[in-house]
Chains A and B, each alone.
Chain A
Amino acid sequence: MGDETVSPTAGAPPARRAFAARRAGLLTRGGEESLWRWSARVASVIPLAGLAFVLAVLAVKAWPAIKVNGPGFLSRSSWVPGSTYANPVVTNGVSHPAGASYGAWPLIAGTLQTSVIALIVALPISIGTAFALTERLPPWLARPLSFFVEVLAGIPSVIIGLWGVLTLGPFLAAHVYPLIANHVPDVPVLRYFRGPTGYGEGLLTSGLVLGLMIVPIIASTTRDLFLQVPPLPKEGAEALGMTEAEVARRVTIPWVRSGIIGATVLGLGRALGETIAVAMISGSVLGVVSPNIFGTMTTVAATIVSQLDSAATDGTGFAISTLAEAGLVLAVISVVVNVVARVIVNKSSRHVAPVGRG
């Protein structure tokens, strides 16, 4: 394949070819080029092969669970591993512990709830931050603060989880949540914000912490996008007498809207797949959807990390298989979200934030 490519010096006089060959040292010119070409080609196939391998393993492992759990897996609310002492039962040709009943609805609901809270918190904060960094602050202050926001993206999620469970959660439960729970009126929708506030482990704390984790992703991309908006339209709008707020709302933000949406969906992808921080902060309650916004819960990712250990003790392998099914559900959700995000982002921005995921 290498020879088909038109070499830039293909038509060059022989003297120049000889010069290049001499400069190339041990490798002949064609030799070095095809070495690069082939090694790069092989390397670029590895992520695709890895992804295919991961999806194949997930599908094969999940298949027995899919056969037994059925479509109800997505809507049931139960997480019963069954008896490991009784003889295994066979359903649809798959052996599993007697009484095993798995349903992922609370995990899926928890994943979506925490991610939505994270987005509601992170989006306005990110846009405000990006605006402050690009339009309001002097460069000597904006530069280090921008770097700080990027550093925040690199802080290991286990440390954010540590802070969330030991410091932020108890603080919020002691000083903030009671204020909300006691002052929100007892009417249909707002009732969700009332009731027992717990000890700081649960849905709202997890969502807030996830929000803090995705702010750097959205904010740094939005900042880059704002910097790309040409000054002339903004100056024109100001010359028409618009205030800064109006310029932002009518010129700057519409100019980069698709980029902001893309970055937001990217942040959503991160929030959906985040594992360790949520496993530490959620309270890890399986099988129930939280009755109010303060309640303990868990997500798909957090369940896999907290249950894999005990799942390995199921002699029939059914628990492990069920976790693969849960993983498959999560993978499908995140892949869809990410593909949508990349399609939008690639049209507008090339920024890559340093993003850990778990």
Chain B
Amino acid sequence: MADVTAAYPPTRGRRVREVVFRTLSAAALLFVIGPSVWLIADVVVRAVPHWRWDVLTTVPLGTGGGLENAVLGTLVIMVGVLLIAGTVGVLSGIHFAELARPRRSGRAGGTVLRTATEVLSGFPSIVLGYVGYVALCVGLHWGFSLLPALIVLSLMVTPYIAKSTESALRQVPTSYREGAEALGMSTGYALRKVVIKSALPGIVTGLLIALAIAVGETAPLIYTAGITNTLPSASLIHQPIAYLTYYVWTDYNQPIKSTQYLSFDAALILIVLVLVLLVVSRVLVNRTQRHAEGRR
């Protein structure tokens, strides 16, 4: 760097600025990593010393008990979101990437739908929760229950799934489609057997990350799912359902220690759940990239 050139003569000021720049960029990284590690360690330190395994097998009782209702409720919500948002999101991703007809102008098709999907993906989640409460829980007399919660959460993560499915499909090499066509496959058959098959890891990755988002949401659920100390029931409406984030949100500032511990336990379970989902998705991404053909 100290080479003498006419265009950029080395000066003391430039050298100082270089050192400052490097220091600042290292400091910036530390400012991200530091608080994140602090945050995760904080939850672990608050939860682990008081951790009891029967938190997973008992329901809240008075000021203590466990979180079995919330763990199961969160799992039920995950499955429901996977079914609803997964179906809708993957299909609309397929629509955007494969089936939407290009405009006469030559631009990609489905512009209005795509814009709506993107607007929805930036929509404040509490406003979705409010509408779920007003229109579904109160308006349709469903009460706090699973179905309005699933509808609101699905509405929230569907755009994400659609977007990730679309980009996974767009990464399938054109030669695959041409090969399928050359073999005489119909568009639908080629889509199922060739295109979607090779985009599957990418699609599943998107689904897992969407699930991680759904698991961590609180605002859209508070006024749609309600809360209950009982285990999830089979009914879609009229029965409230428990979920983990609720306990983090309400129990941390309760006066009784054993209740506070439930909040920290719920936070720990959530972090583990989200980490598992994200790590699995990352492993899938790495595998896809290894198999990708001449693509980044």
A residues in contact (CB < 8 Å) with B: 5, 7-9, 12, 16-17, 19-21, 23-24, 27, 29-37, 39-48, 50-54, 57-58, 61, 124-129, 131-133, 136, 145, 147-152, 154-163, 165-168, 212, 215-216, 219, 240-246, 248, 266, 269-270, 272-273, 275-276, 280, 301, 304-305, 308, 320, 323-324, 327, 330-331, 334-335, 337-339, 341-342, 350, 352, 354-358
Most central of B117, B126, B213, B274 by chain A CB within 10 Å: B126
Are B124 and A275 closer than 8 Å at their CB atoms? yes
Flag if B116 contacts A47 (CB, 8 Å): yes
Given contacts A156-B215, A163-B43, A219-B32, contact A40 B92 (CB under 8 A): yes
**In the assembly, what is the distance between CA of A51 and CA of B190, in Å?**
32
Q: In angstroms, how far is the closest chain B Cβ from the Cβ of A54? A: 5
Q: How far is the CA of A35 from the CA of B91 in the complex (A)?
A: 11
B13-21, B64-72, B232-240: which lies at the interface = B13-21
Q: Among B42, B125, B192, B212, which residue has its beta carbon within 8 angstroms of that of A154?
A: B212
- Other 18 A-B pairs with CB < 8 A, given A51-B116, A305-B219: A29-B186, A32-B188, A47-B117, A48-B112, A152-B36, A156-B274, A158-B248, A158-B267, A159-B216, A159-B267, A216-B32, A243-B14, A273-B122, A275-B125, A276-B245, A308-B130, A338-B118, A357-B156
Q: Are B122 and A269 in contact (CB under 8 A)?
A: yes
Please state if B167 and A352 are interface contacts (CB–CB under 8 Å): yes
B83 within 8 A of A: no
The 4 nearest A-B residue pairs measured at CB: A128-B28, A156-B216, A338-B122, A273-B124
A165: which B residues are within 8 A, CB to CB? 252-253
Known contacts A150-B278, A159-B43, A301-B219, A35 near B188 by CB under 8 Å: yes
Rounded to whole angstroms, the CA-CA distance of A156 and B124 in the bound complex is 15
Given A44-B162, A159-B267, A275 and B219 touching (CB < 8 A)? yes
A40 with B134, Cβ < 8 A, contacts A154-B278, A276-B249 known: no
Chain B's nearest CB lies how many Å from the CB of A298?
12
Is B61 engaged at the interface, CB distance under 8 Å to the other chain? no
Residues of A within 8 A of B112 (CB): 48
A16–chain B nearest beta-carbon distance, Å: 4
List chain A residues, Cβ under 8 A from B63: none
The listed residue (A47, A133, A301, A355) touching B162 by CB distance below 8 A is: A47
Which partner residue on chain B sits nearest A159 by CB separation? B267
With contact pairs A9-B181, A40-B95, A248-B21 given, residues A57 and B218 touching in the complex (Cβ less than 8 Å): no
Using a CB-CB cutoff of 8 Å, which residues 1-36 of chain B contact chain A? 1, 3-5, 7-10, 14-15, 17-18, 20-22, 24-29, 31-33, 35-36
State the CA gap A226–B188 with chains docked (Å). 38
B275 touches A151 (CB 8 A): yes
In the assembly, what is the distance between CA of A313 and CA of B99, in Å? Answer: 49
Report if B96 contacts A (CB, 8 A). Answer: yes
Q: Does B101 contact A (CB under 8 A)?
A: yes
- B124 adjacent to A154 (CB under 8 Å): no
CB of B173 within 8 A of chain A?
no
Across-interface contacts of A19 in B (CB, < 8 A): 183-184
Complexed CA–CA distance, A14 and B90 (Å): 33
Is A155 a contact of B39 with CB atoms below 8 Å? yes
Establish whether residues A156 and B134, one from each chain, have CB atoms under 8 Å apart when the complex forms.
no
Shortest distance from the beta carbon of B216 to any chain A beta carbon, whole Å: 3
Cα A41 to Cα B155 in complex, Å, equals 17
With A9-B181, A162-B43 given, is the CB distance from A32 to B28 under 8 Å?
A: no
